[in-house]
Amino acid sequence: MKSSKFKYQRVSGTTAEHCCVPQCQASRKYNSVLSFFTFPADEELRRKWIVNIRRDKFTVTPHTRVCSRHFRTEDIREPASETGRRLLKKGVVPVLFEWNNFSLPPTRPGVWERRERPPSPEDDREDTPDNITPDNVTFGVLMQHDYASKPEAAVVDLVLEENTSLREENRLLRQQIEGLTLRQRFGIHRFAASDKDIRFFTRFASYDLLMRFWGLIANSLPSMVSVRQAQRGALTESNATTHSLQPIDEFFLFLNYLALGSKQRDLADRYGIHQSTVSRIITTWSNFLFTVLGSVRIWIPEEEIQRKLPADFKDYPDTTVILDCTELRCQCPSSPLLQSEVFSSYKSHCTLKGLIGIAPHGAVTFVSALYAGSISDKQITRESGVLNLLKPGMAVMVDRGFLIDDIVPCKVYRPAFLSGRPQMSASEVRETQAIARLRVHVERSIRRVKEHKFFDSVIPLRVFGSINQLYTVACLLTNYENGPLVKAWAKKPEI
């Protein structure tokens, strides 16, 4: 019996066609007993197929297939010969899926079949009176049915009261269901009452701080451009497209991606959306925040730096910026030439390198683009553009290996070198210790950036197209996510 079921199936295939239905892993390469059908040419029928298989914004190609597991047996026309092909009957659509256990619910019986009716006493009468006329026949038949009689006013009032009560009960039940769904759905509102959870999922110190930042960017949302539309060459505003998540939950998803380094497949499962939608959201929001935050001037004027200068910098009052480089480990390219470009002799690994500058009071005031890991600190300082912001009256504070004295137009504070001497003088030791205590705060700022776990692991090559946006956004977000870098530097509010 089993062989007769499969005798019309193809026993081998030359292509690796696979089923496009979500959660279905059927492939012609590994399954010779299934048939794979192309989408119908009729637009209306094709739309029904796409709706049934639950593929939103799905592009059908000549190679897109749906396997025979998703069609009822009576929907498939078997071939007349063993060498023939199985075909679908006209107008059928796929209806059997994993989410309905590959079965359809039984058809619901009609109203007449569901309702039990008592036998009519007139059914037992065998004889028919002879004095029945057409008029009294009609009247007699009508009087046998409840709907032919006029209902009493009290009955109507009772039914209306019952309908009103049922409507109110349905409304309250619907509100309870919506409230329960809102609490259970994975999104920002689920964790609004826990600052600890907000810190874990977003790196923002509190829900209030996150909402304040949302208020800063919310007015720019209408200008957000969907990446999906941009790739098609039709740049449209994001509010003109259909979203499966609210904008604030898309923003929360993007922060999860940065803060936790979550895989896109994991985020798709958490939020109940397709993995391609997760990818679109991440790319769209990285570009959007890169544009919005990048339009804010973060380089602080000299007089403002002097006004907020911490007391610890009293011996270095002209310090404008503390510079340091950071390296992010990345996947090793297959090309030997590219490997030599991104290989860092300091980290002994393939890296991307960026320059970060902070003001003396701890705010990030400069972020460079990322460069190949083989670049030197001096070269990245020259190419990053920070030299255009420095003036002769300023001073920069750097690490011992930052040899940029001959390229900057201002003073450089750097720990002293031995320079062939057996030991340093007492004043040089004190100065080295003082600069090291102050310069270490730029490393603390870099550590805040790397608390976004996305940068704490090896960056895959596939995200290199948007890595500059992700890195810059993470650096700029540290100015909004946290409190002061050093609590003692926090200015008390003026009364």
Instruction: Kindly state whether residues 61 and 80 are assigned to the same domain.
Output: yes
- Joined tokens for residue 415: 């720990």
Domain range spanning residue 35?
1-106
pLDDT of 231 higher than 50: no
pLDDT, average across residues 397-418:
86
Q: How confident is the model at residue 478 (pLDDT cuts 50, 70, 90)?
A: very high
Same domain, yes or no: 309 and 457: yes
Question: Does residue 161 fall inside a structural domain?
Answer: no
Q: pLDDT above 70 covers what percent of the chain?
A: 77
Short-list 227, 378, 213, 355, CA closest to 288:
227
Query: How many domains is the chain partitioned into structurally?
Result: 3
Q: Does some domain include residue 392?
A: yes
- pLDDT for residue 240: 36
Is residue 149 domain-resident?
no
Please give the pLDDT value at position 268: 92
pLDDT tens by residue, 168-202: 888 877 766 655 554 457 888 888 889 999 999 99
- Same domain assignment for residues 265 and 371: no
416 and 320 in a common domain? yes
pLDDT in tens, 244-296: 789 999 999 999 999 999 999 999 999 989 999 999 999 999 999 999 999 99
List pLDDT tens digits, range 336-373: 888 899 999 888 899 999 999 999 988 999 999 999 99
Give a yes or no: residue 47 inside a domain: yes
pLDDT of residue 115: 57
153 has pLDDT over 90: no
pTM (2 d.p.): 0.60
For residue 113, the model assigns a pLDDT of 60
What is the pLDDT, as a whole number, of residue 157? 67
In a domain, 148, yes or no: no
- Boundary-marking domain end, from 85, 106, 127: 106
**pLDDT over threshold 80, residue 324:** yes
Pair (325, 402) in one structural domain: yes
User: Is 353 in the same domain as 460?
Assistant: yes
Percent with pLDDT over 90 in the chain: 40
Last residue of a domain, one of 243, 265, 294: 294
Q: Report yes or no on 177 lying in a domain.
A: no
Summarize the confidence of residues 1-11 as an average pLDDT. Answer: 41
255 and 311 co-located in one domain = no
Query: 257: exposed, middle or buried (C-beta count within 10 Å: 0-12, 13-18, 19+)?
Result: buried
Domain-embedded: residue 81: yes
pLDDT digits (tens, 9 = 90+) for 366-377: 999 999 999 999
Are 412 and 440 contained in the same domain? yes
210 and 242 share one domain: yes
pLDDT of residue 223: 85
Domain finish residue from 77, 106, 135? 106
Residues 251, 227 share a domain: yes
Q: What is the CATH number of the domain that holds 357?
A: 3.30.420
Say what the pLDDT of residue 154 is.
64
Model pLDDT for residues 205-222, shown as the tens digit of each residue: 999 999 999 999 999 998
Q: Is residue 152 part of a domain?
A: no
* Residue-level pLDDT at 241: 40
pLDDT at residue 145 greater than cutoff 70: no
Q: Looking at the structure, do residues 277 and 324 belong to the same domain, yes or no?
A: no
Q: Are residues 456 and 358 in the same domain?
A: yes
The confidence score (pLDDT) of residue 471 equals 95
